[in-house]
Amino acid sequence: MLDLSAVLNTFHRCHIAVVGDLMLDEYLWGHIERISPEAPVPILNVIRRSSTLGGAGNVVENLRTLGVAVTTFGVVGRDDTGQQVCELLRAHGADVAGVICDPQRKSTRKARLMSMEHGQQVFRLDEESTFTLDNHVEENMIGMIRGMNNGIQAIVCSDYLKGVLSDRVLESTFAVARKRGIRSIVAPKDISPEKYRGAHILMPNARELLQLSGKKPNGDAVSKESLANAAGGLIEKLSLEALIVTRGSEGMSLFENSERGLRRIDIPTTARSVYDVTGAGDTAIAAFAAAVASGSDLETGAHLANVTAGIKVGKRGTASVSLDEIRQSLKT
């Protein structure tokens, strides 16, 4: 394993493509002082609101915070939400030339109503389209992916089942990665493993891994044996290079396909406190992809992802983690 601090110093030379479902996370903060006379529900008097990137956009933001150059591929609707998503991507310095505007779609927006008294979410409103891209938009997306910058060193596919990562889009993305000799890293949400055939690395949580393996999760706890069986079976079935499983309070596990068989490394969590796990997977895959793009081995990337995710869960919402925060965490 390489020195993690030294790896951080190489991120400014890295360039990663992010392909996936772009979203807008909106937070409306207010006070709850009375119950509505119209129905037995609380009234939230909104004081302030803020918007951040969600989904694949959160991966982009995390990569940009780490100093990595990013080219974004995705689809938004011709609406205010889509415009906000593109403006936020540009504000973070991401290349949005690969973002298609589809007037037939509604951009994904998740509005969270937050109580200032309780410091927690009381309601969520979702607006989105989840149908698969039509043929014309899909062909445009595939064409842009095939023509992506030759300097890109890794591809992250962020799947939130909103219809952008169709079978053909993923197949074309994996083909481009293999042709160019770079890794494709996927955050999977679908329960169909065949959708991800051709990828180099999958990064699911423990529950998603079991679902991909055709096993029904039994509560939140997953035994080490079940985890190993599911990971080994999926690596063999899809001919994967590796699987990284995020395991919440138990940290992460790296399963790597080696000449000596399945290599497993368990990494305990570094989180000192868990405040909000929202977006932790996006933060982890961004840090791992940045390490991979820099030329680091997978074990180094997994350790760095674990440290970064441990910092993120101590923050509220889809917050990103800075290089200075990672350096400070490594010192302590």
Per annotation, catalytic residue among 21, 102, 190, 282: 282
- Provide CB contacts within 8 A for 195, sequence distance 6+: 167, 170, 188
Our answer to whether residue 21 is catalytic in this structure is no
Helix axes 298-312, 323-331, angle to 10 degrees: 100
Radius of gyration of the chain (CA): 20
Where does the chain show beta strands of DSSP type E? 15-20, 22-35, 42-55, 69-77, 95-102, 108-115, 120-127, 154-158, 183-187, 201-202, 242-246, 252-258, 261-267
pLDDT greater than 90 at residue 234 = yes
Topology of domain 4-24+53-107+129-331 in CATH is UDP-N-acetylmuramoyl-L-alanine:D-glutamate ligase (3.40.1190)
- Provide CB contacts within 8 A for 312, sequence distance 6+: 279, 280, 283, 284, 319, 320, 321
The structural domains of the chain, with segments of one domain joined by +, span 4-24+53-107+129-331
Tell me the CA end-to-end span of the chain in Å, nearest whole number: 19
pTM: predicted TM-score of the whole model, two decimal places: 0.92
Residue 317 has a pLDDT of 63
Note the pLDDT tens digit of each residue in 142-176. Answer: 999 999 999 999 999 999 999 999 999 999 999 99
Note the pLDDT tens digit of each residue in 15-69. Answer: 999 999 999 999 999 999 899 999 998 899 999 999 999 999 999 999 999 999 9
Residue 273 has a pLDDT of 58
